[in-house]
Chains A and B, each alone.
With several copies, the nearest count.
Chain A
Amino acid sequence: MDKNEMESVIEGILFTMGDSVEPGRIAKALEVDKSEVIECLDSMKTRYEEENRGIRLMKLDDSYQMCTSPDIYEYLIKIAKQPKKYVLTEVLLETLSIIAYKQPVTKSEIEKIRGVSCGHAVNKLVEYNLVTELGRLDAPGRPMLFGTTEDFLRSFGVSSIEELPELNPVQIEEFKQEAEEEAKVALNI
């Protein structure tokens, strides 16, 4: 095994292991002398530094570990703090509208209206502080009741939920009739 190949294998081993590795273990796997491995590790360590690489070798007692250059840290923090864009997805908006109009409302009532589970959506809305727990319903299972928050009102610039646009009964009646018509058509097929 030539030096180049050995370096390649050692690089791969240190990368995969993540932890510190003793040169003796590497030597056994490669069936070479431990001193050869140490020599190779030290030369790699120096080269990584000279080349100003993003990854470095760290010597800990008699083991070696792959790590990043200390300069990377500030960029990692920047990646973490990258302004993530929170968006209200369709699911969240629908759930929010049901809570706004039906409050106080339980998760199972919301699920009944949407036809799909809403646990995740409600939790997200609570996390965004648009929705809050209002207490438990005095019913079997004592389900939690949800309602909108002050933040919710503030973001719409209204002072109470009474100010939400009214639901138009005529329109709702139309929806019902449409649904019936559709069903009739379906039956004629």
Chain B
Amino acid sequence: MDLNFKLQQFEGPLDLLLHLIDKNKMDIFDIPIVEITAQYMEYIRAMKEANLDVMSEFLVMAATLLKIKSKMLLPIEETEDEEEEDPRAELVKQLLEYKMYKCISYELRDRQVDANNVYFKVPTIPDEVSKYEQPVDLDELMSDITLSKLNAIFNSVIKRQENRVDPVRSKFGKIEKEEVSLEDKMNYMLEFARHNRNFSFRQLLEGQRSKMDTIVTFLVILEMMKAGQIFIVQENTFDDIKIESKMVA
């Protein structure tokens, strides 16, 4: 196989695939997927230095081929559906359509060559003709526009604008400064741990106001554990977490 063939010569993954099918004199309606996938991958490997933009599209096709290949290797499950669709069907359809346009593009190119043998003339319209501007007749222009129509148009414009605004995201409201600061909570906890040797997570949560307080407290516990400032034990899932301070002076 001629690996010197540059990938860039192909106009895309479908083009490469068609080339391989033609070259191997394969039947487009009965593509030997295992073989073609192997050859396709070989091209891809040879093209490692190809630019990434181009590569990504070729890789999508590679993934598709591999998916088809794996589907075809798997034993066909007996289902109620009388006939399992050939996993290649979609690809064949795409290949045929692409091939059709590719062929048509050659025909168009020939037509362009023929059509190019014709010359035109630049316009030579006298200035006073080309520069003539007709005055605007406002009465005529506004003849079928009423105030209520204008109003309706404005309403529909506004409606469209509302539609454009993402109502979910716009509901998130303003981003406000967090009421619970991790730093404050950390300082509080360090102080607490200096004065208490044994306490529990639930104990800490007593008198906490919000969910955010709880979350931040838990984060601080994790942080202190990581720093070796406390030692924790939880005997069973959902049991209270027992905390032993290593910071008691």
Contact = CB atoms under 8 A, between A and B. Distances in A.
Nearest to A87: B141
Residue among A16, A90, A93 with the highest chain B CB neighbour number at 10 A: A93
A26 B102 CA distance: 40
Nearest to B161: A113
Q: Is the interface of A mostly helix, strand, loop or mixed?
A: helix
Interface in B100-117: 100-109, 111-112, 114-117
Given A91-B11, A98-B101, A167-B154, A65 B161 contact: no
Nearest to B163: A179
Interface in A79-96: 79-81, 83-88, 90-91, 93-94, 96
Interface in A153-176: 154-158, 163-165, 167-169, 171-172, 175-176
Interface residues of A, number: 68
A11 to B, nearest CB: 12
Residue among A69, A86, A96, A114 with the highest chain B CB neighbour number at 10 A: A114
A17 B146 CA distance: 39
A16 B121 CA distance: 5
A88 B112 contact: yes
Interface residues of B, number: 73
Contacts of A87: 141
A47 B182 CA distance: 91
Contacts, number: 239
Contact of A183 (B153, B155, B166): B166
B79 interface: no
Given A65-B120, A85-B116, A179-B165, A158 B157 contact: no
Given A97-B153, A167-B154, A151 B138 contact: yes
Contact of A80 (B109, B115, B130, B147): B130
A107 B94 CA distance: 16
B207 interface: no
Contact of A68 (B101, B118, B142): B118
Given A68-B119, A80-B130, A91-B11, A113 B97 contact: yes
Contact of A155 (B13, B107, B116, B166): B116
A157 B116 CA distance: 8
Interface of B: 11-15, 22, 53-54, 57, 60-61, 94, 97-109, 111-112, 114-126, 128-130, 132, 134, 136-142, 145-148, 150-151, 153-155, 157-168
25 contacts: A15-B121, A16-B119, A67-B120, A68-B118, A73-B119, A76-B125, A79-B129, A86-B136, A86-B141, A94-B11, A94-B101, A94-B102, A94-B105, A113-B161, A128-B136, A130-B138, A130-B142, A156-B145, A157-B114, A175-B107, A179-B159, A179-B162, A180-B22, A183-B168, A187-B168
